[in-house]
């Protein structure tokens, strides 16, 4: 079931990162949106309709102080 959810998330253009995480959740998904209205109409609505997703939690970022790619 999780593989199917991941496959559907990979098809979403607003999804920029997908991470498998430890309990209590299975996945951490980062999406980008122009504004709150676009977020509600796009990815939040789409993700909540994917079969296999029973719960979502959202954290809205107000300001990004640092964002970098760093591979170990």
Residues 44, 58 contacting (CB under 8 angstroms):
yes
CATH number for the segment(s) 1-72 = 3.30.70.920
User: Is-contact 29 17, C-beta < 8 A?
Assistant: yes
pLDDT for the residue 20: 97
Q: What is the pLDDT of residues 23-72, one digit of tens each?
A: 999 999 999 999 989 988 888 888 888 998 988 999 999 999 999 988 87
- Taking 90 as the threshold, does the pLDDT of residue 1 lie above it? no
Instruction: Write the DSSP assignment of 13-34 as a string of letters.
Output: TTEEEEEE--TT-SEEEEE--S
pTM to 2 decimals? 0.82
Statement: residue 22 has pLDDT above 90? yes
Tell me the average pLDDT across 5-9: 94
Tokens for 38, please give them. Answer: 């676009």
CA distance 38 to 27: 22
């Amino acid at each position: 079931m999780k593989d199917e959810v991941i496959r559907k998330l990979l098809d979403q253009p607003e999804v920029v990162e997908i991470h498998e995480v430890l309990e209590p959740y299975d996945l951490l998904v980062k999406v980008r949106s122009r504004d709150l209205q676009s977020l509600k109409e796009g990815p939040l609505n789409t993700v909540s309709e994917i079969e296999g997703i029973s719960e979502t939690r959202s954290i809205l970022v107000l300001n990004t102080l640092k964002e970098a790619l760093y591979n170990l």
